[in-house]
Structure 1
């Protein structure tokens, strides 16, 4: 194994144009149909296609380091299993409820998902934004406990009591329509490395008939995956973030200029790890190795090449035991320093701030992995993974990159904000990774 891949311990070193919703577009087309018989016929056919067409979806031996000196020291890998939920009762997977909401106020009909209601007005002042948010509060179901979300805890326990070798979480607060081939690939490749694991997707949009159809190819192969509408008030109850949520719901704070769903995703991942323990990952990874043997770990996004100390962490992968004390510190920091105007402030920058502040506290035993473990390619260079090699030098780079990843990486972060629209070209690093690490492998060349 390359010496570049090292495992770092906290105790050792811390250093406007919105898309139009289908509903509104359908209304505009219908309004024009009456003006022209020809347009009426064409438009009617187009509307039917537009509404009902669904896109088919189908052990590393690493080192640790001394926090005060930064010296790298040999250390065995910990493989203690992760913590699980409390009060669990074994059930059969085929008894799990179909992920469909029957609450009229929450039901997402086929092809009529609305645009994000939490995108604030462009260039609004703080006062204007707060007034806008107060008007929006009644329609923000995600901030409430309702008939469906109150089943959250029971459904989680039903899933995780089916002989799961590991508990995985993902959060999806966008529409089911936007859960595309790349997101599906993350779930698919997870089961290629951990076929007996259980994946929970916290998502109200995927907790529908449409979401069930998207995940059905995995269910048909016996994989344990379930989309569940999250109960945010339940998740933060009796945590430092409970008072923060009360203030937000009371309209007493500035939600910020960054869409609130981004910040809620940051909060949900911390709270769900605290309540249940397990492995949290974003939906833009390819899994290369089983993560279930890791414990109380997070990854560095960048390191100082001279000192080898991390300069930034990233919460896109977090692995923690249930009720781990550092998760409480994360939730305290979230509630105390929330800033809705800065992207990343409540996410990757938050975990960096907290772990920097507890560097000398021997109570916390956390492993910090170097970039190659979870983020072997940074967001600037990610596009190169999608390109077909054109020269002999390109081919050598592709071979070397694949060899390094196979040896030193658990997962590969794809930086979807940067790569979502990139086409996967044949013989590219991405194409070869997918061929080796997927079960279903459908539509992989679609962006």
Structure 2
């Protein structure tokens, strides 16, 4: 108090309002006002965005959120959605059939959970590759140190909703005419037009099918935006975070997975995600039954009538016997004994250092060992069914014809494919960087088997 009085006396010795003091004071006040206004606008915009996202991100309905079951279609609930500043919106009015309307608190909690989940995948997948040219013990040590970054190995809250969400999606009066599965263990941002074409081809051929994509990264706001063009057309596709502990439980892979999570298994030099995808597809068909497709497979005609079958990748034409099978397309009933044999082979012979050992070569080994053993009841389809073009010749589908004879070959090949093949495997590992040229075989196939064609070429 005394200090204040002393300062006041000193001020009286000068002009009460020095113009320099006033000038600085006015500048400070104006700056403060501008800063406050900007802060207020940003804060309000953030609240609006969070509120809007809580209405439009994919999650469980309030009536079934504990099980993660997708809500039934609601004709009364409608909303407008646009893509603006990262917020899901649209200028057209849509029936909310694939979007759950949670409260603001539930929505924000769920969004943070799945956005964190997506970010983890974005940061981790490209880094989680074991070092090469090291010993097995060194690789296991590396894996133990990185274990916490392998989010797919965790059975967290989101993963534990898996079974309920799958049952709710395929049931729940969804009118599914065929159960289809894909896996995606890469970041959501890498799910591009080629993969979206594969999804579209499913619905072009089976408009009332239901497709589950087992993916932690696509089970997110970002993943929802990737699939939104297909959802907006009313097709039934849902990305669901898999629970590997549940999928492998009660199978020969259960103990193998338990040892892997304890850091007692060598993951190998090949990315573990790739080998896990080989096991996931077997396990999900064993648990639920249906059709598994790789995301680089284009359907050309309905799978109606196909049951318990696997495709040959190559054949000995002289002997008329297959020489290699492939697991990019699998069609099996639930609990089929051949699937159990595949899973057992995976657990007993896993080798993460040999490409294809736990995938195409695995199914070939098992079927070869079975020979003519009865009780398995399955069919091996010729290469023309799923693999009409081998991996080392796939580039021919992407090139436009340059001569009259090449044009005739393209037309003849199109007739053959559309007549004899259920689909075409594009061998993305080989063709991922190829451009689909106008007038090429694939260009013509795309134009006839896409539902959002403008986004693909």
Same fold (TM over 0.5): yes
SS of residue matched to 1:173: coil
Contact 2:70 2:98 in 1 (8 A): no
For the structure 1 residues 327 and 103, does the alpha-carbon distance in structure 2 shift closer, same or farther, using more than 3 Å as the test?
Answer: same
Mapped to 2, the partners of 1:290 and 1:231 lie a distance apart of 30
Counting matched residue pairs gives 358
Structure 2 unmatched runs, 5+: 1-68, 74-95, 101-106
For residues 384-423 of structure 1, what are the structure 2 equivalents within 5 Å? 384-423=396-435
- Aligned partner (choices 348, 368, 376) of residue 336 of structure 1: 348
Corresponding residue for residue 72 of structure 2: 92
1:125 aligns with 2:135: yes
* Superposition deviation, residue 103 in structure 1: 2.6
Mapped to 2, the partners of 1:174 and 1:104 lie a distance apart of 15
* Superposition deviation, residue 140 in structure 1: 1.7
1:444 aligns with 2:419: no
* Superposition deviation, residue 123 in structure 1: 1.6
Contact 2:187 2:218 in 1 (8 A): yes
- Aligned partner (choices 212, 220, 227) of residue 200 of structure 1: 212
* Superposition deviation, residue 322 in structure 1: 0.4
For the structure 1 residues 141 and 222, does the alpha-carbon distance in structure 2 shift closer, same or farther, using more than 3 Å as the test?
Answer: same
* Superposition deviation, residue 111 in structure 1: 11
Mapped to 1, the partners of 2:258 and 2:116 lie a distance apart of 22
Give the number of the structure whose alpha-carbon radius of gyration is greater.
2
Mapped to 2, the partners of 1:429 and 1:176 lie a distance apart of 29
Mapped to 1, the partners of 2:292 and 2:408 lie a distance apart of 34
- Aligned partner (choices 293, 304, 312) of residue 300 of structure 1: 312
Q: Which has the higher helix share?
A: 2
Mapped to 2, the partners of 1:212 and 1:318 lie a distance apart of 26
Contact 1:169 1:280 in 2 (8 A): yes
For the structure 1 residues 155 and 101, does the alpha-carbon distance in structure 2 shift closer, same or farther, using more than 3 Å as the test?
Answer: farther
Residue by residue, what CA displacement relative to the aligned partner does 1:339-388 show, whole Å, maximum 9, x if unpaired?
11101111011111111111221101101100000000111111011111
Corresponding residue for residue 160 of structure 1: 170
1:320 aligns with 2:332: yes
Corresponding residue for residue 291 of structure 1: 303
Runs of at least 4 residues off by over 3 Å: 93-102, 109-115
Contact 2:170 2:210 in 1 (8 A): yes
Corresponding residue for residue 365 of structure 2: 353
Corresponding residue for residue 25 of structure 1: none
Residue by residue, what CA displacement relative to the aligned partner does 1:37-85 show, whole Å, maximum 9, x if unpaired?
xxxxxxxxxxxxxxxxxxxxxxxxxxxxxxxxxxxxxxxxxxxxxxxxx
Residue by residue, what CA displacement relative to the aligned partner does 1:83-102 show, whole Å, maximum 9, x if unpaired?
xxxxxx99625565669764
Structure 1 unmatched runs, 5+: 1-88
Corresponding residue for residue 262 of structure 2: 250
TM-score, scaled relative to structure 2: 0.75
For the structure 1 residues 174 and 136, does the alpha-carbon distance in structure 2 shift closer, same or farther, using more than 3 Å as the test?
Answer: same
